[in-house]
Amino acid sequence: MKILVTGGAGFIGGNFLQIMTEKYPEDFYVCLDKLTYAGNMETLEEVLKRKNFRFAKGDICDRSLVDDLFRKEKFDVVINFAAESHVDRSIENPSIFLETNVLGVQVLMDACRKYGVRRFHQVSTDEVYGDLPLERKDLLFHEDTPLKASSPYSASKAAADLLVMAYHRTFHLGVTISRCSNNYGPYQFPEKLIPLMIEKARKGEKLPVYGDGRNVRDWLHVYDHCEAIDEIVRRGKEGEIYNVGGHNERSNLEVVKTILKALGKEENQIEFVKDRPGHDRRYAICPDKIESEIGWKPKHSFETGIQETIRWNLENQQWLRHVESGEYRQWIQRYETLEKNS
């Protein structure tokens, strides 16, 4: 198969390409990425050496560029990771989230229709469901849970999901959607909770925790998420939504304390700060559907996964330093020079 992976220089997309280009050497992968601040070509350094991969720089909102790429490559499958995804940034500037996360999805699906792509997979989030009360541990998100987005980010993802299902019903486009819980693991941009706290703890800085720190998330290792997406694309039913969860509910405060303990640091580094607007209290995924219909189950417990993630961050300080300094942004310039001279 020839597979387009959009947003493949980001955290989850980059891990997906690292795993799948090696797992399926007979398939060919093309990565389309705009290389915004969260796109990091250093994440794809090893993937670029593989014969079944090539990179294309571009914006999924650029209809002409997307059309040209689809016409030339004749994709069988499109997997859309491309998205603006940081909630705090969506509160500061909602418009870019609507442009990329909704209009970009429309551009991709129009190209899928035009060029006969047999499967379009939308990578979504459990945040489209809103939140659950902390005291109701019996309540979980199911695929038919009503959408109740709380932030501009989650509203843009919910809108995209509705658009994907509308294209399936109206135009008979072959689609699937996955809605995952919070991801963590290697190559995560350090604005996110876990890598941010690891770095601040390592440096002896204060660890800012929103509100009372009791907000609960269901944590999913990025490797498990990537395997789930692969299984859905290859074995999932058209027109279906699959929740992907890790069975690992932890409060933000629990996560921070786990990181401090693993690094031998004191809890007095924790600093409670003003909560962000509309902060969801609890996310909890029920993954029964993907487990029963497809047979996928997460392999990582949070206890083992968080230790592996802390170790990776400690052992890959150069990658992190390049992100913090902005040096990673120069990688694409070096890559483009090599391409022109090859």
Active site residue 184: no
Query: What is the rounded average pLDDT for all residues in the chain?
Result: 91
Tens of pLDDT, residue by residue over 19-78, are: 999 999 999 999 999 987 677 888 999 999 999 999 999 999 999 999 999 999 999 999
Tell which residue, 289, 286, 162, has the closest CA to residue 237.
289
Count the residues in the chain: 342
Q: What is the Cα–Cα distance from 246 to 286, expressed in whole angstroms?
A: 9
**Which residues are CB-neighbours of 56 under 8 A, at least 6 positions away?**
30, 31, 32, 33, 69
Both tokens of 334, joined, read 């070096």
How many whole angstroms from its chain centre is CA 270?
27
Q: Are 250 and 302 in contact (CB under 8 A)?
A: yes
Q: What is the Cα–Cα distance from 326 to 80, expressed in whole angstroms?
A: 26
Q: Helix 252-262 to helix 302-315 angle, to the nearest 10 degrees?
A: 60
Both tokens of 154, joined, read 């989650």
Tens of pLDDT, residue by residue over 144-185, are: 999 999 888 899 999 999 999 999 999 999 999 999 999 999
Q: Report which listed range, 62-76, 84-98, 199-213, is most confident.
A: 62-76
Q: What is the Cα–Cα distance from 223 to 273, expressed in whole angstroms?
A: 32
Q: What is the pLDDT of residue 340?
A: 47
Exactly one of 129, 153, 187, 328 is catalytic; name it: 153
| Residue 302 main-chain phi, psi, to 5 deg | -65, -35
pTM as predicted: 0.91
Instruction: List alpha helices for the chain, DSSP H.
Output: 11-23, 63-73, 87-92, 94-98, 104-115, 152-171, 193-203, 222-235, 252-262, 288-293, 302-315, 317-325, 331-341
Both tokens of 215, joined, read 């907000």
Active site residue 127: yes
Span between the terminal Cα atoms of the chain, in Å: 26
Tell which residue, 64, 48, 22, has the closest CA to residue 339.
48
Both tokens of 169, joined, read 């019903």
Active site residue 126: yes
DSSP 136: -
